[in-house]
Structures are given as C-alpha cells and as structure tokens.
C-alpha cells in the first residue's frame, strides 16, 4: 500500500505520526505540571502563570513558524519542534529546588514553541496532498487528523496522571524525553522532502494575512478557544481536586476521557454536519454551531448554584460542552485549510493558529485569575461571554465554499 502512495502523501503520514507522538507528551506534560505544582502548594493563578510563556510564545511561533515553513520546508519545522520539546522535558528533570516559577515558565515556553511548530507543520501539509476541488475529502481528512490528535492528547492526560503516581515528576520527564528522542531520530532519517517549501522565498512583511475570510475566522477562533480554556485549563482540575476531593488518578482519567470523547466527535464532524448528504460547511454552518455552544456554559454555571447537583452537573455539562465544541473546532480547522492559499499555505495556517494561541493565552490567564478570585461558576459565565463574541464575529464568515467533490 505504501509503495503505491505518492512521496508527498508518505511524507504527510510520517509528519502525522510525529505529531501523534508529540501530542502524547504534550498532553501528559500539561497534566503533570497542573497536578504536581498543585501538590507543591501553588495557587491556581501561580499554576496559570506556569503556562503563560507556553501560550505567549505559541502566538509568536505560529506567526513566524508559518513563514519558516514556507521558506525551509515543513519537515525542518517539524524536526525543530521535536528537539525543542525534548529540551523542555529534560529541563524539568532537575530537583524540586530548581523548579521555580520563572524556570518552569522558560521550559514551558520551549514546549509551547515546539507544539505550535508541530501543529502548523501537520495542518499545513494536508492541503498539499489533495487538489483544490476535493473539498469534501479535505474536510474528512482534516476532521480525522484533528480528532485523532485530540484523542491522543486525552490519552496523554491519563498518562500524565499515571506517570506522576508511578515514576514521580522527574522520572516521567526522563521517560518522555527518551521516547521522543527516538521519534526525532527516525524523523531525521525519514523526513527527506521539503514539503510546503515555496519556490519564491516569502517576504517577512507577508506574515499578516490580507484575506478577509481568514481574518474573521481567526478572530472567532481566538474567542472560541479562550472560552474553552477559561474554565478547562486550571479552574476545572483544581476544582475537582479541592471542591470535590477527587484523587489525582481520577482527575487525570476523567480529563483524558473527556479529551478522547472530544476527539472522537471531532473526527465524526463531517457526518454530524451532513457531509454524507453532500453538504459542505461554510460560514453559516460555523455561525449556527457556535451560537448553540454559547448557551452551554451559561446553563452549566446557573445549575452549579445547586450544591446537591453540582458535581453531576459539572460532569454531564462538560461532555455536552465538549461535543458541541468539538464540532465547532473541526469546522474551523476545515475552513482555514480551505481558505488558505496553496502556495504558502503554512503562512495562512500559521496566522490562524496564532489567533488560536492568543485565545488559549487569554483563557489560561483568566482561568487562574477568575477561579482564584470568584470561583468556577464565574469562569463559566466568562466562557459564555467569550462565545457570544465569537458568534458575533462569525456573522462575517463567507457563506460559500471554493469547491467540492
């Protein structure tokens, strides 16, 4: 089967495998940092600050990484990302006395750069494997890639909680760095093609997108992901540990299950949104789904006021939110690849994921601050407000698509 595939498709499959391996370590690292530093007595806001550089440098990386991918090739940006993640993991193998907030923030900054180089490389590559008129197939491929990635990230969450109990924080870092080192060595050998490298070197001033569709979609993405992370990143795991007294393994397992569920729904988004009936998503589709999502955190927040129902409402509500959010995310992931120009696709995709990183940064900071000052219920209300903004921005998305198959 592999022998009959084109060189570009083979390269894309290798990039996808690298992306999956990286995603496992990324999910595990996030859960390890949240749980371990909560154990050490860090406040929710201090834990959020540990991720500040992770998200902040993701903003810069997506913007510049897309430009680098167009100039150097996506194989090189992928390998650079793997190396940076290995370095970040090794930095966290030091004794506890070295793991100060500034030091961990620097390690997380490297991890954030690594993650967004990998994501940009994988998402950009898929555009180059299909002709422009294969929009239906493109939607399915993007949904499967995105869904499988998030399912693996969920497994990574579970892995993080398990490794913390089994090997301890530093032992988990050593193991993940070793495994990812083997992946990197294979990647150096196998990724030979300069996939996504532009024939004409792009100018640095071309970084900012001039496409109205990409700009509006990027703005909506910013508030969409801010709305998720404002209650999911710090507030939720800390609330489960303190308010509801869940043990570490339960928290890691529950959030892993949620991310896996979320990934499965993402992969099924074409079926859910009518792809089998020949319907392809457009701006109106994205508007409808984000409007439905915006109601969910508001209802969960209102129902949390009942202490007897609080825990059950939180669990059930999170899965409802996850299903709706998964479809929204999958729609956005397809639309950006569809809107992007084939020549220099990584620059358009990088610009879009810069907005994605800005949303995560906003949500992460708000998650720690709002939870510490006001509690989980207020985090959910802020989430609803951010989603209403995303809904308003989605009115500007084009109501037509470029092609279909």
Q: Delimit the domains of the chain by residue range.
A: 7-193+207-394
Q: How far apart are CA 22 and CA 32, in angstroms?
A: 15
CA distances 405 to 131, 138, 341, Å, are: 10, 9, 18
pLDDT at 192: 60
Which among 299, 315, 154 is positioned nearest to 240, based on CA atoms? Answer: 315
pLDDT at 404: 41
pLDDT at 3: 54
pLDDT at 181: 94
pLDDT at 1: 47
CA distances 358 to 42, 218, 317, Å, are: 24, 10, 25
Q: Which of the residues in the chain have pLDDT under 70?
A: 1-9, 11-12, 128-135, 192-210, 274-278, 342-344, 401-405
Which among 61, 32, 388 is positioned nearest to 227, based on CA atoms? Answer: 388
Which among 63, 23, 14, 17 is positioned nearest to 352, based on CA atoms? Answer: 63
pLDDT at 403: 43
The CATH number, out of the four listed (1.20.1250.20, 1.10.10.10, 3.50.50.60, 3.30.910.20), of the domain defined by the range 7-193+207-394: 1.20.1250.20
- Identify the burial level of 139 via C-beta atoms within 10 angstroms of its C-beta, where 0-12 means exposed, 13-18 middle and 19 or more buried: buried
Whether 107 and 88 have beta carbons less than 8 Å apart is answered as yes
């Amino acid at each position: 089967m592999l022998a009959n595939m084109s060189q570009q498709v083979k390269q894309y499959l290798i990039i996808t495998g690298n992306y999956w391996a990286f995603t496992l370590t990324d999910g595990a690292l996030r859960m390890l940092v949240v749980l371990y530093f909560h154990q050490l007595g860090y406040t929710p806001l201090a834990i959020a600050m540990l991720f500040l550089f992770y998200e902040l440098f993701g903003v810069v990386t997506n913007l510049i990484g897309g430009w680098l991918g167009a100039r150097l090739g996506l194989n090189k940006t992928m390998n650079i990302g793997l190396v940076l993640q290995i370095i970040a993991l090794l930095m966290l193998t030091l004794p506890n006395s070295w793991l100060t907030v500034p030091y961990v923030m620097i390690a997380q900054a490297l991890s954030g750069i690594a993650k967004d180089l990998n994501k940009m490389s994988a998402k950009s590559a898929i555009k180059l494997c299909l002709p422009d008129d294969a929009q239906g197939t493109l939607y399915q491929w993007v949904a499967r890639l995105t869904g499988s990635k998030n399912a693996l990230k969920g497994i990574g969450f579970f892995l993080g909680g398990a490794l913390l109990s089994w090997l301890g924080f530093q032992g988990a870092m050593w193991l993940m760095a070793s495994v990812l080192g083997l992946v990197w060595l294979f990647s150096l050998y196998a990724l030979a093609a300069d996939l996504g490298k532009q024939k004409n070197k792009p100018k640095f001033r071309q970084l900012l997108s001039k496409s109205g569709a990409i700009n509006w979609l990027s703005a909506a993405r910013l508030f969409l992901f801010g709305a998720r992370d404002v209650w999911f990143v710090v507030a939720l795991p800390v609330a489960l540990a303190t308010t509801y007294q869940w043990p570490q393994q339960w928290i890691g397992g529950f959030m892993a299950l949620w991310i896996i569920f979320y990934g499965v729904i993402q992969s099924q988004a074409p079926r859910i949104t009518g792809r089998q009936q020949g319907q392809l998503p457009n701006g109106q589709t994205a508007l409808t789904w984000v409007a439905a999502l915006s109601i969910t955190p508001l209802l969960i927040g209102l129902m949390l006021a009942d202490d007897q129902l609080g825990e059950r409402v939180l669990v059930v509500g999170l899965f409802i939110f996850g299903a709706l959010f998964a479809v929204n995310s999958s729609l956005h992931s397809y639309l950006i690849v569809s809107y992007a120009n084939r020549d220099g696709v990584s620059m358009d995709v990088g610009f879009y994921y810069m907005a994605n990183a800005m949303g995560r940064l906003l949500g992460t900071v708000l998650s720690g601050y709002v939870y510490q000052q006001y509690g989980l219920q207020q985090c959910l209300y802020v989430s609803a407000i951010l989603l209403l903004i995303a809904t308003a921005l989605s009115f500007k998305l084009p109501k037509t698509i470029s092609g279909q198959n």
